[in-house]
Structure 1
């Protein structure tokens, strides 16, 4: 499994939610700050992004916005419009909610999706992302992302047999293409040195080491062994890894083990001993102690709280 897919599989909680809006000017939607990441695609017409801080940004057909940290913002046909909270209605038979504002003004159609990530211990990959990411609809750029947007638009405009099954997958796929496009852009920028997780994707040595950790968190990795996998000296590897990932190799190993444990506790009924072994702990007691240090609660309590909706 590649790193991006691996990280998202571990950090995602629940299913994405999407809504489509069709609004006649004048209109304005307020997206309040929250825990979920938000995505907007302009399907028809145009609008303005009005951030909490900063200048308004004009958006056109095919533009994609992504707010990975749940930052509050406004979308409106013009800056300064009165706004209402974005609360679409959802038919139980449809995977996509609907919101319509009637009128005689220009029409704008939007697809808005939200993705929930674990917020107790967010992955540094997500932490590296800016508050708002904007992908203008430019010919020849991010072809896969553009194709995903086109497919979504087609399914929403003309629902057919299978649309209800296709839409959740397309909405999920949109997130992957957004993140891939962002990291590709960072790697292609000649105006500054690429750092953090954006550099990890383009660094074969770091990628090899991270993949080993992700695929085999139960293995008793040492810095020397990971350096050998990366094809680097122990000292250089340790320094480079800490610079890219933000943690020393063994600290990240422990962090990833706990992240993997939380995913298994959320998504499976595996016994605690099996979860402990999968994460490199031969003792259930040692595992419970490490997990409580990371999450503040014992693993069994965490599993119960997740299922009761008390924690994500």
Structure 2
């Protein structure tokens, strides 16, 4: 049986499929207005410096080796200086244009997945964008702040230099290689960031360290299809039902069965995006006895049926 802890459960979702990956090389003054509505974007600085300026938030400086993760779809700006006005606008579909609407894609093409003003520009960044919400599970997006930054000296990981080397290659299967590298880099950044910023982690992740609630969570995560009750959970962790219910709600923020329902439906939502499994098969995998039972719970909590969710996911 697959063993899952809270952290694995949180990160079990990044699945880039033909992700947008680009190496940008710029010389000051430069400013990119990002309004592509992507659900998640990762920015790594290879050389030079860059400011990430969220709308309504404080600017954050990125130095070489620093990585930022920006949660969309709200727009933001990346620039050499927060005061530099936008010169380039990135639209949905990664269409780049001047603020007046003039297309810039060909004018700034510098080669394989490379874009900018000059190959010798003082700032080089790597950008990886998850372009569809189905590539990132909603429970992961919900766990993240609008902007997080991991400084180069806060972790030790070879993935940024590796991605920088691979992003400019044009070889068979390169898209799949880059998709997996982006997934690995995202997971590595989040693992390091959550370990440093435990207070920012979701409540159920923090509760994983509790000897009672942590064990109960692992039981639910490892076998969500089991017909759990508060009584069977309490027996499994060796406490009374009242004690488990009280402690679980205190640390996780909701009762055990409410957490289980949310977890099952989150799993179902991700599985339904795959498109090659029936609703009945998904229902059995996540602990519902029939497609009708899953549909009833899904519609009650999410407001739409599993099939409507699948159609919406396929439409992007």
Same fold (TM over 0.5): yes
User: Which residue in the other structure is 2:213 paired with?
Assistant: 206
Separation of aligned partners in 2, 1:3 and 1:43: 32
- The TM-score, its normalising length taken from structure 1, stands at 0.80
- 1:27-61 CA distance string (max 9 Å, x none): 11112273511211001111222232344332211
Separation of aligned partners in 2, 1:289 and 1:42: 47
Separation of aligned partners in 1, 2:14 and 2:260: 16
Deviation at 1:200, TM superposition (A): 3.0
Structure 1 residue runs of 5 or longer lacking an equivalent are 91-95
User: Which residue in the other structure is 1:93 paired with?
Assistant: none
CA gap of 1:171–1:194, structure 2 versus 1, over 3 A, is closer
User: Which residue in the other structure is 1:136 paired with?
Assistant: 151
Q: What root-mean-square deviation, in Å, do the aligned CA atoms of Structure 1 and Structure 2 show?
A: 3.3
Q: Quick check: 296-305 or 41-50, which moved more? A: 296-305
8 Å contact kept, 1:222–1:250: yes
Separation of aligned partners in 1, 2:192 and 2:186: 10
8 Å contact kept, 1:13–1:118: no
8 Å contact kept, 2:55–2:75: yes
8 Å contact kept, 1:38–1:68: yes
Structure 2 residue runs of 5 or longer lacking an equivalent are 97-104, 107-111
Separation of aligned partners in 2, 1:178 and 1:166: 18
User: Which residue in the other structure is 2:109 paired with?
Assistant: none
Deviation at 1:177, TM superposition (A): 1.0
Deviation at 1:173, TM superposition (A): 0.5
User: Which residue in the other structure is 1:17 paired with?
Assistant: 20
1:294 matched to 2:306? The reply is no
Report 1:183-202 matches (<5 A): 183-187=194-198, 196-202=203-209
- The TM-score, its normalising length taken from structure 2, stands at 0.79
